[in-house]
Amino acid sequence: MAGEKGKAERKSSIKDVAELAGVSVSTVSYAISGRRPISVEKKQCITEAMQKLHYQPNAIARSLASKRTHIIALLFPPVEHGIGISETELIIQAARSATAQGYHLVIWTLQTDEEAELLQLIQQELVDGVILMEVHTADRRIGILKRFGIPFILMGRDAEIPAEPFIDIDFFATMMQCISYLKGLGHRHLVFINQSKQSYCSGYGPVVRVHEAFTYLCRNFDMDGTELFCDSNPVQTCAVTEAFLADHSATSAFVVMNDKALPGLIRGVEKRGLRIPEDISIVSIVSSEGAAAFFLPQITTFEMDIHALMDAVITQLTARLDGRYAELTRRLFPCILRERQSIAALNRE
Amino acid sequence: MAGEKGKAERKSSIKDVAELAGVSVSTVSYAISGRRPISVEKKQCITEAMQKLHYQPNAIARSLASKRTHIIALLFPPVEHGIGISETELIIQAARSATAQGYHLVIWTLQTDEEAELLQLIQQELVDGVILMEVHTADRRIGILKRFGIPFILMGRDAEIPAEPFIDIDFFATMMQCISYLKGLGHRHLVFINQSKQSYCSGYGPVVRVHEAFTYLCRNFDMDGTELFCDSNPVQTCAVTEAFLADHSATSAFVVMNDKALPGLIRGVEKRGLRIPEDISIVSIVSSEGAAAFFLPQITTFEMDIHALMDAVITQLTARLDGRYAELTRRLFPCILRERQSIAALNRE
DNA sequence: CTGTTAGCGCGTTCAT
DNA sequence: ATGAACGCGCTAACAG
């Protein structure tokens, strides 16, 4: 069943290369790693032999000998706050960046409370390092990782600032740019549609951070701001929007950190006979093109820079693993404005 | 820097277990694998020793000796047809199922034409098997995998039916159920909104398959059906919808296999002064809850059974890898109806 | 039922 | 600048 293809192309090892090149295996090994000078002639022979044999070092043997697997794990627990469009891009980008750094990425879908399972996985010593997503306050996983002494990095943080290295979105800066932007366009009466009240109460990092930022910044920018919590139920979001607008006719702009609330919001605005963006402006923050560009009107966003985010995560972690100097241990990335059709300047009123 | 935590808990090997249990290493090995009978007493000693030492076999050493890594790769090329919400679930489910089968999942984000890179990765012998997503006609990757003799399975297919084992959505059955469902509700004049014309012309599997199914089934069910191709641009989708409805007032239902066209479609219908679902019914096929449930009205869908799909993929592949008998080599999964608020029965006309 | 031992393929120390 | 040889931790013959 295995050798049915005829040309089985027997996999060649470093020994084969050594023989063909007429040198010892260690010479080949050093020629590959470059950890020892090799004469040009021998180097030449070895290179030729490798090409002739289509030699590719065996990853497992290499790992066993070097005690480094060049594999990192992405801990991706089932997200309670609903899965968005950008998660895929996050994972893919992580894998891409890992490849660029000479690493493989494995996905572990453990829940945040499966400590024993995590410990087992770590102890198998399959991975050199770990990326933790969806970090909770007092996340038990962190203790495990520290105790075992395996390098790791947090992607996102909980409401409290962790003692460990992390990379996250800069919610405060994003909200500041957003409010500043709206103020520049003449808006004074804002509504912020956050995620569910439940997320907030459970201390989910993004939700509480952005809540605080909005409250603080409205005061500082002298804006009239109201925060509304919405879950993913569109009829409720629509009703809430409508009710609010009925009582607050001065409202001219909505800031949203809840992509799934967008249809309900848009509908609610329209039901009041208001137009977007002429009467009401909408901006979706911590969003993505895939989540906002196909609405009508197309929604202006502050989008996360997934590439920068994940690349920083991977670079940081692999730098530590490779013993290279790792400058930044905590970094915040603001979202980037992508103007579309849901925002207008306020003329009078 | 590594042993800073004090309690370094020196990792124990099979040898330590053997010594503590007073047996030989092979006995421990066989006790773990169960490939050889072990007396109850020794087995007992070994189990105790393992627990006392928190022993966990080293995955790499095991792989090197057994020539099986228990790692499979998910080939996830950058999708040209736009990334949806369900991709994340696909990946996560793949990882979960893999875990359930005792495997790890690594993500490789090679493009479909990066043959050389794929060959290199395979030759490193890090993975036991491969899952191919986004398969193209005459996909060069398949040749590579076959030549190397590594087990693999296709997830989805191109317009042509491949010679290799695959698992895919049953587009025909899905469309049939959908049309049958609409017919049962009295609808006779359908519009099918497919993905872009470009996708169709490039021979993208789902798009051409569903095109054929729709054409064939409308004839068979004696329905008046029209197919419209739409890309992800909402203003265009809206315009197309409006124009079509202006000329075809008998239209009572839309079938959509293009989640991103939904907002444009809904808006187009409304612009004609039509109500959903009273005047116009909408059903989104090959969709997902995350992509349809937050619209207003919430969209009725035929959703893919991601769990069943990926579990079949993983089970099939690992069964082959483990030498277990693998019954099904090609399987099609129809989508499942999730009724929401976008469909109504047609009363008269 | 159990122990001994030869590899798995490569990195690396110790010689030269 | 090069080679020989040992060992990484475990599996799987082979030998009782």
The string of pLDDT tens digits covering residues A179-232 is 999 999 999 999 999 999 999 998 889 999 999 999 999 999 999 999 999 998
Decide: B91 and B126 in contact? Cβ < 8 Å.
Answer: no
- Longest Cα–Cα distance in chain B: 87
Per-residue pLDDT at B81:
67
Rounded average pLDDT over A103-125: 96
Best mutation site among A5, A53, A107, A256 for testing chain B: the one with the most B CBs within 10 Å?
A107
Q: Residue B38 contacts by C-beta under 8 Å, 6 or more apart in sequence?
A: B27, B30, B31, B46
Of A88, A92, A124, the CB nearest to B59: A124
User: How far from each other are the two terminal CA atoms of chain B, in whole angstroms?
Assistant: 78
Cβ neighbours of A296 in B, within 8 Å:
234-235, 238, 263-264, 267
B296 with A76: Cβ contact below 8 A? no
Statement: residue B138 has pLDDT above 80:
no
Rounded average pLDDT over A108-118: 94
Decide: B282 and B253 in contact? Cβ < 8 Å.
Answer: yes
A58-62, B8-12, B22-26, B74-78: range with lowest mean pLDDT:
B8-12
Say if A95 is an interface residue toward chain B (CB within 8 Å): yes
Confidence band (pLDDT; 50, 70, 90) for A138?
A: confident
Confidence band (pLDDT; 50, 70, 90) for B10?
A: low
Smallest CA–C1' distance to C6, residue:
B65
Nucleotides of C under 7 A from a protein CB: 1-5, 7-13
Segment holding B225, helix H or strand E? strand B224-229
Smallest CA–C1' distance to D7, residue:
A65
Q: At what angle do helices B205-220 and B171-184 cross, to 10 degrees?
A: 40
B11 with A264: Cβ contact below 8 A? no
Q: Is the CB of B23 under 7 A from strand C?
A: yes
Per-residue pLDDT at A85:
72
A151-165, A241-255, B106-120, B257-271: range with lowest mean pLDDT:
A151-165
Cβ neighbours of B8 in A, within 8 Å:
149
Q: Which of B171-175, B203-207, B343-347 has the highest mean pLDDT?
A: B171-175
Residue in B with minimal Cα distance to A77 = B92
Confidence band (pLDDT; 50, 70, 90) for B82?
A: low
Statement: residue A327 has pLDDT above 90:
no
Per-residue pLDDT at B6:
35
Statement: residue B29 has pLDDT above 80:
yes
Decide: A202 and A138 in contact? Cβ < 8 Å.
Answer: no
How many Cα atoms occupy the beta-carbon half-sphere of B164 within 13 Å?
28
B153 CA to D2 C1' in angstroms comes to: 46
Q: Pick from A88, A71, A44: which is nearest to A131 by CA? A: A71
A85 with B84: Cβ contact below 8 A? yes
Confidence band (pLDDT; 50, 70, 90) for B135?
A: confident
Cβ neighbours of A104 in B, within 8 Å:
106, 126
Q: Residue B230 contacts by C-beta under 8 Å, 6 or more apart in sequence?
A: B193, B194, B195, B196, B236, B237, B240, B258, B261, B264
Higher per-residue confidence, A135 vs B174:
B174
Torsion, Cα A210 A213 A216 A222, to 10 degrees, reads -100
d(CA A46, CA A28): 7
Smallest CA–CA separation between A228 and chain B, in Å? 17
A11-20, A132-141, B294-303: range with lowest mean pLDDT:
A132-141
Strand A336-338 to A300-303 pairing: antiparallel
Smallest CA–CA separation between A281 and chain B, in Å? 18
Say if A79 is an interface residue toward chain B (CB within 8 Å): no
Statement: residue B2 has pLDDT above 50:
no
Statement: residue A10 has pLDDT above 80:
no
Cβ neighbours of A56 in B, within 8 Å:
120, 123-124
Other Cβ atoms closer than 10 A to A159 = 17
Per-residue pLDDT at B9:
56
Nucleotides of D under 7 A from a protein CB: 1-5, 7-13
The average confidence (pLDDT) of chain B is: 93
Statement: residue A3 has pLDDT above 80:
no
Instruction: Tell me the pTM.
Output: 0.94
d(CA B220, CA B197): 24
A36 CA to C12 C1' in angstroms comes to: 11
